[in-house]
Structure 1
Amino acid sequence: MTVSPPLRIAMMLESDGPGGAEMMVFRLSEELRRRGHVIVPVGPKHGIGWLGDRFRGAGFPTEVFRLRRAIDPLCVLELERMFREQSVDAVHSHEFTMAVYGAAAAGRLGLPHVITMHGGFRATKALRRRIALRWAVRKSDHVVMVSKATRKSFGP
């Protein structure tokens, strides 16, 4: 049996309030750290701070992203810089916004990218969002839907 070396994983989520996706991201990060990986939690600069506080309280150094508008190329460049500075080996993006921005930044650096979608159809109600998510899925190495219902809500 071969053992993979520990990875530095950017764990990105667009929200940081108390909720199911946030708790899953936190628990996944704890488990991956227990298995020897280094987790770099990345959350919104101007969020409420609940998830960031949990991460810092558990000893994780946190990073932030900043979106100035819905389409923000500067955010991609800032994520790239942070990934390089943190020596990130892989990016795991949760939910729509981070799926798109994570795919763009990871792709430009040649890093593996995983998307996990927790929510349903509201994330892609608008055509431009469906197009953006389909692009991100094509650019990513793996996509996880947290349930059959979530998968069904995104269509084929």
Structure 2
Amino acid sequence: MRILLVDNSKGWGGAEEMLFSLATGLRNRGHYVVMFLDEGSETVTKFVRADFNVWAFQRKSFRLLQSIIKMIRIARNEKFDLVHVHRNHDLLVGKIVGYFSGKLPLVLTQHCRLCKSTFFVINLPDRIAAVSKYIADGMTERFLKLDSKINVVHNGIDPTEFEHLHEDFWCRWSELIGKGPLLGVVGYFYKNQEELIELLPFIKDEFPDVMLLIIGRDDSKRKFLEKKAEQLGVAESVLFTGSIPHAEMKHALAGLDLNLSAFRREGFGLSVLEGLAAGTPFLGYRSGGYPEIIEQGENGYLKDTFAELLQEILSLLKDKDRYSKMREQAKKSVSNKFTIDNMITNYENIYKSTN
């Protein structure tokens, strides 16, 4: 098939990592893939480096109309079979480009819960892939008529990439010499990292050398988190690692004792999958897409309250036998269920269903 993938994200997170895996997998299976991306974005740089056919467009003010006209011209020449957008706010552009390029089918991947969206816009795609049942349920709760269009397609990983890990990854960080246990959280800083900082005073009572590693970069909210740590007297127990290249992330996750999150609206959680594949148990709240990944007591724990989450973190860290077994089980829990191959096959089936 000749597939046009559209994404106007400027940054790079789990959704972009999934898009990269999908595009690579489709190309490896013989599909012709072209990317329409936002000019000046990190996605352009990374897809160009991977030798994809990339077109970059400006999306602001009157430039948007010029970009759409150019998109239509390119799409007509390329004779695509379908358009696949990866943000619901790309739907209108995707529909216009597809319609004037031969009334092409439109597919949407929805990575997060719907915020502001009208039924007119969200009903534009012919098929919708929700990355979790949590996302799918949120869409049908607002717009019941979408139910017949939605398929749940979980994100996937390549288990073979997690076979040779450097669990000593954090040993090269001078700030962490003699420290432990190492607790980590991955993601943009709007994901309630402050609540994990609030856990630290209680954890330090039992583990004085504990460290919370906040992995990622978000300059807009870092000062808020730093102030929170200072107010609670745990600033020396929080390390902002900055962004870690994805090629190294598996080693970083393997070097953690626990992968944590206090976010309650996670669409799915690719870093959770990657952490499990690296053998690192996950603990968080029973919400969002996490219950579709975590097998309670096998590869992690999901709790309902702050107190319950704190208690389970302490309990697991103290029980060395249970912890060791959970690290082994974590790897097994994702090796077959959440694979890139399964994900790509599911998308191919969705593409076929649009014809």
TM-score band (shorter)?
0.7 to 0.9
Q: Any gaps of 5 or more consecutive residues in structure 2? A: 144-355
Alignment equivalent of 2:86, drawn from 83, 87, 94? 94
Query: Aligned partners of 1:140 and 1:112: how far apart in 2?
Result: 7
The alignment's TM-score, normalised by the length of structure 2, stands at: 0.37
SS in 2 for 1:67: coil
SS in 2 for 1:121: coil
Q: Which residue of 2 aligns with 1:127?
A: none
Distance 1:73 1:53, change over 3 A: closer
Q: How many residues align?
A: 140
Q: What residue identity is the alignment partner of 1:35?
A: R
The alignment's TM-score, normalised by the length of structure 1, stands at: 0.78
Q: Which residue of 1 aligns with 2:30?
A: 36
Report 1:5-16 matches (<5 A).
7-16=1-10
SS in 1 for 2:128: strand
Query: Aligned partners of 1:152 and 1:69: how far apart in 2?
Result: 34
Q: Which residue of 2 aligns with 1:84?
A: 76
Query: Aligned partners of 1:136 and 1:121: how far apart in 2?
Result: 12
Flag the structure with larger Rg. Answer: 2
Q: Any gaps of 5 or more consecutive residues in structure 1? A: 1-6, 125-129
Query: Aligned partners of 2:94 and 2:11: how far apart in 1?
Result: 20
Query: Aligned partners of 2:81 and 2:128: how far apart in 1?
Result: 17
Q: What residue identity is the alignment partner of 1:105?
A: V
Q: Which residue of 1 aligns with 2:127?
A: 142
Note the C-alpha offset of 1:113: 1.1
Query: Aligned partners of 2:81 and 2:122: how far apart in 1?
Result: 19
8 Å contact kept, 1:115–1:137: no
Query: Aligned partners of 1:61 and 1:25: how far apart in 2?
Result: 14
Report 1:52-63 matches (<5 A).
52-63=44-55
Q: Deviations over 1:84-122 (max 9, x none)?
A: 233322110011221221012212331111111112233
Bigger relative contact order (CA 8 A; separation at least 6)? 1
8 Å contact kept, 2:109–2:131: yes
Q: Does 1:45 align with 2:30?
A: no
SS in 1 for 2:123: helix
Report 1:110-129 matches (<5 A).
110-122=103-115, 124=116
Query: Aligned partners of 1:75 and 1:63: how far apart in 2?
Result: 10
Query: Aligned partners of 1:75 and 1:52: how far apart in 2?
Result: 16
